[in-house]
């Protein structure tokens, strides 16, 4: 057995929800005594992701999938439990996250590449590859605030895969791309998998789950309902959704 790529061990994440009444001037004046309650978006979740596997996260809207991905990407920290991962991790979360709106696509490539641990020289060497794959063309020298959602996602995905991460974490964002880009990115996922890389993805498409994933974890209201082989777990989830 090789070492797992990611170990999620009894992870819980809470958000602080402030009560509506708290918006009054009086409560602003009384800061420090604010009315809030804790909302646990992820509750005591544990699973391991084997190295070289493609792992799916499924569940209804609001079940905690994106929150869990953000803890994997270390954008959020768990309130309880731990997450450990081995190797370089690149994440594609919300559309445009990680981009600086005023900088051009080219400048954002350098910015993101360096965040992902590449030197300026390494990034320069891969620049053409990234721009080609993104197909943003002449827009590469425009500020990214002028990009369409699809263009953001294309560029973000191109950067993420070109840094050759050991672990790629992807939220549903790829669904924003058109069908040609979907095919291109599906092919990239296959290449990553063939190269022994680990992919963790969130999708509402059970067809994608069955085509791409080895294992899935099903979350509901922040809790892990099931983790196991993609086909039976996604079938059980679909059955559950029909019954709702």
Ligand X SMILES: Nc1ncnc2c1ncn2[C@@H]1O[C@H](COP(=O)(O)OP(=O)(O)OP(=O)(O)O)[C@@H](O)[C@H]1O
Q: How far apart are CA 130 and CA 114, in angstroms?
A: 14
Binding positions for ligand X, 79-138, rule CB under 6 A: none
119 CB-side CA count, 13 A: 3
String marking each residue 38-57 x if it binds ligand X according to CB under 6 A: -x-x----------------
Quick one: which of 59, 78, 113, 156 contacts ligand X (CB under 6 A)?
A: 59
Closest CB to ligand X among residues 27, 66:
66
Shortest distance, position 40 Cβ to Mg ion, whole Å: 16
Quick one: which of 22, 48, 66, 104 contacts Mg ion (CB under 5 A)?
A: 66
Closest CB to ligand X among residues 118, 173:
173
Pinpoint the alpha helices (H) of 53-119. 65-72, 105-115
Closest CB to ligand X among residues 28, 75:
75
Counts of helices then strands in the chain (DSSP H, E): 8, 9
# residues contacting Mg ion (CB under 5 A): 1
Quick one: which of 62, 117, 137, 196 contacts ligand X (CB under 6 A)?
A: 62
Can you tell me whether residue 68 is helix, strand or coil?
helix
Quick one: which of 51, 67, 134, 158 contacts ligand X (CB under 6 A)?
A: 67
> Per CB under 6 A, does 65 bind ligand X?
yes
Kind plus residue range of the DSSP H or E element containing 206: helix 206-212
Terminal CA-CA length for the chain: 39
Helix 105-115 to helix 120-134 angle, to the nearest 10 degrees?
130
Shortest distance, position 204 Cβ to ligand X, whole Å: 7
The one segment of 62-70, 110-118, 145-153, 216-224 that binds Mg ion by CB under 5 A: 62-70
Can you tell me whether residue 8 is helix, strand or coil?
strand
Closest CB to ligand X among residues 17, 235:
17
Q: How far apart are CA 63 and CA 221, in angstroms?
A: 5
Written as six digits, the tokens of 87 are: 């190797």
- List residues near ligand X by CB under 6 A: 15, 39, 41, 59, 61-67
């Amino acid at each position: 057995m090789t070492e797992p790529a990611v170990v999620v061990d009894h992870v819980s994440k809470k958000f602080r929800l402030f009560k509506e009444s708290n918006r009054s001037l009086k409560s602003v004046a009384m800061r420090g005594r604010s009315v809030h309650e804790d909302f646990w978006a992820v509750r005591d979740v544990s699973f391991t992701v084997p190295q070289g596997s493609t792992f799916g996260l499924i569940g209804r809207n609001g079940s905690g999938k994106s929150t869990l991905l953000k803890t994997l990407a270390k954008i959020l920290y768990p309130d309880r439990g731990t997450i450990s991962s081995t190797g370089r991790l690149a994440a594609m979360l919300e559309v445009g996250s990680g981009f600086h709106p005023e900088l051009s696509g080219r400048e954002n490539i350098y910015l993101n590449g360096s965040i992902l641990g590449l030197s300026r020289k390494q990034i320069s060497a891969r620049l053409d590859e990234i721009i080609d794959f993104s197909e943003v063309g002449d827009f590469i020298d425009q500020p990214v605030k002028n990009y369409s959602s699809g263009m953001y996602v294309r560029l973000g995905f191109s950067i993420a895969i070109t840094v050759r991460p050991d672990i790629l974490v992807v939220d549903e964002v790829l669904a924003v791309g058109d069908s040609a880009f979907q095919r291109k990115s599906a092919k990239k996922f296959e290449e990553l998998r063939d190269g022994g890389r680990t992919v963790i993805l969130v999708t509402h498409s059970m067809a994608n789950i069955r085509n791409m994933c080895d294992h899935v974890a099903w979350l509901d209201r922040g809790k892990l309902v099931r983790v196991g082989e993609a086909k039976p777990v996604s079938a059980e989830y679909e059955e559950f959704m029909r019954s709702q």
